[in-house]
Amino acid sequence: MLPTTATDRRAETSVPLVDVLAERWSPRAFDPDGVVSDEQLTAALEAARWTPSLANGQPSRFVVGRRGDDTFAAILDSLAPGNAEWAHSATVLVANVAEVTDENGAPRTRHEYDLGQAVAHFTVQAHADGLHVHQMAGFSAEALRESFGIPARFEPLTVSALGVLGEADTLPERVRARESAPRSRKPLGDLVHRGTWN
């Protein structure tokens, strides 16, 4: 049987994590009838809004579409085929956009970093509400620019699928195996340095 519940895919850690982080993972199988309430969507966006950022510059923007509306359709159209083939079942698609230069043309720094933080907080709030998020980098930023009229000083960096976890056996065969493959990360010792780098 393929694991399709969050608890089946809990992160393997040397010490316990808070549940919302331990149980978070990025599914491809979303329930095509899954419901995300307006309050749940707003909460995830509020979480992103209150994320810290460099000098409180708040460079993160979100183009939000619900399944069935034109915004969702345009974001779905922008996705690489390998993402579109499963992301159509998400309830919400969000294009995550960073402000690269400010209103006066001055280049920002850490806008990519800060957008990553904002999407992380969005994700934590959504998972705390029993939803799931899968972020994608495979999409056409140019297509999003054209569809929505995104100004040049903003840059779409990722797209998030948000929805209700679905059944793995509804996925195209090519990605079905990945849905149940063991989750893996580098050992903690490869990521953490003390004293010197080596």
Cα angle 66-113-105, degrees, rounded to a multiple of 5: 90
Among 4, 21, 32, 170, binds a second copy (CB under 8 A): 21
Shortest separation between residue 142's beta carbon and a second copy, angstroms: 15
Q: Does 3 bind a second copy (CB under 8 A)?
A: no
CA distance 120 to 168: 24
Looking at beta carbons only, is 89 or 125 nearer to a second copy? 125
Cβ proximity to a second copy: between 52 and 169 the closer is 52
State how far the Cα of 98 lies from the Cα of 171, in Å rounded to an integer: 31
Q: Are 154 and 100 in contact (CB under 8 A)?
A: yes
Nearest to a second copy of 89, 158 (CB atom): 158
Q: How far is the CB of 105 from a second copy (least distance, A)?
A: 18
For residue 113, state whether it binds a second copy (rule: CB under 8 A). yes
Kindly tell me which residue out of 52, 130, 146, 174 binds a second copy, with binding defined by CB under 8 A. Answer: 52
**Which residues are CB-contacts of 55 (< 8 A; sequence separation ≥ 6)?**
none
Return the residue of 49, 88, 153, 176 that touches a second copy, per CB under 8 A: 49
CB 17 within 8 A of CB 24: no
Sign of the torsion formed by the C-alpha atoms of 169, 171, 177 and 183:
negative
Residue 10 sits at the vertex; the CA angle it makes with 47 and 129, to the nearest 5 degrees, is 30
Using CB under 8 A as the binding rule, the residues of this chain from 54 to 73 that contact a second copy are: 54-56, 58, 60-65, 69-71
Tell me which residues in 86-105 interact with a second copy (CB under 8 A). Answer: none
Among the residue ranges 6-14, 28-36, 83-91, 161-169, the one whose residues contact a second copy (CB under 8 A): 6-14
Total chain residues near a second copy (CB under 8 A): 72
Contact 31, 166 (CB under 8 A): yes
